[in-house]
Amino acid sequence: MKRYQREDEISYSLGITLTFELLKYATEYCNRVYVHSKMDKGESFEKLKKLCDDANIPMEFADKPFNILSQKENCFIIGEFRKFKRPVDKNESHVVLNNPSNAGNMGTIMRSAAGFGITNLVIISPAVDEFDPKTVRASMGAIFRLNISVYPSFDEYRKQMGDRSYYPFMLKAKTSLSKLEPVKPFSLIFGNEATGLPDSFLEVGTSVIIPHSDRIDSLNLPIAASIALYEATKNDFTK
């Protein structure tokens, strides 16, 4: 057993809340669940044990994995899972992250996307590791409900997907988000935290700007993405 590395075929859910999400939504990819000796054997544990038993997932009682994998003192459950390949659905709407560089941001966007019912995530390389335990943690487990595809370039992604609504979000865009009437299936496209999307995206579909004051340069990436997700899906959830 060693520290997590990107090239590994497995990753980890650190903590009981994340591990519940893993067991519920990506059961078939879970190899085992580690239990620390300090884990309280109360109601939550019994629930977890039942989920493991029902799915024939072994529980291993050992403290060593926690020393190696977790920096947090109050982490007493770790789930080990095989990195899953569930490609995005061509007929559904997508969130597309072009060269994202921060694991926490990527996880936060996963959480918001699931929250707004968009469960297909496209990542354009180079990008931060979508299975890094830090990403998993920031997603609050939403990663286990998503289809995820990684493409080597945006052009390659577009070639595979063909005709759909592409909405790149950029400060130079002409269309205001508040005037947009998104046509499904759509792709909401966001650039890197520091550099945004290159100007070439002005020629891709309909470029969109989030109206805001000139007092700040731009919104942070998970916030911009979440506002876009809210606006693009609000008619789906409003009675």
Local structure of 124: helix, strand or coil: strand
Q: Are the C-beta atoms of 165 and 205 separated by less than 8 Å?
A: yes
Per CB under 8 A, 215 contacts a copy of itself: yes
Which residue stretch of 7-15, 83-91, 153-161, 210-218 sits at the interface with a copy of itself (rule: CB under 8 A)? Answer: 210-218
Per CB under 8 A, 216 contacts a copy of itself: yes
Element (H or E) spanning 59, and its range? strand 59-61
Per CB under 8 A, 227 contacts a copy of itself: yes
In single-letter form, the type of residue at position 144 comes to: F
* Window 141-180: contact mask with a copy of itself (x via CB under 8 A): -x--x------------------------------xxxx-
Per CB under 8 A, 220 contacts a copy of itself: yes
Per CB under 8 A, 61 contacts a copy of itself: no
Local structure of 175: helix, strand or coil: strand
Per CB under 8 A, 32 contacts a copy of itself: no
Alpha-helical (H) ranges within the chain are 16-25, 43-54, 64-69, 103-115, 133-138, 154-161, 221-237
Closest CA to 222 of 128, 106, 141, 142: 106
Give the nearer residue to a copy of itself in terms of CB position, either 41 or 179: 179
Q: Which residues are near a copy of itself by CB under 8 A?
A: 108, 111-112, 114-117, 119, 140, 142, 145, 176-179, 210-213, 215-216, 219-220, 222-223, 226-227, 230-231, 233-239
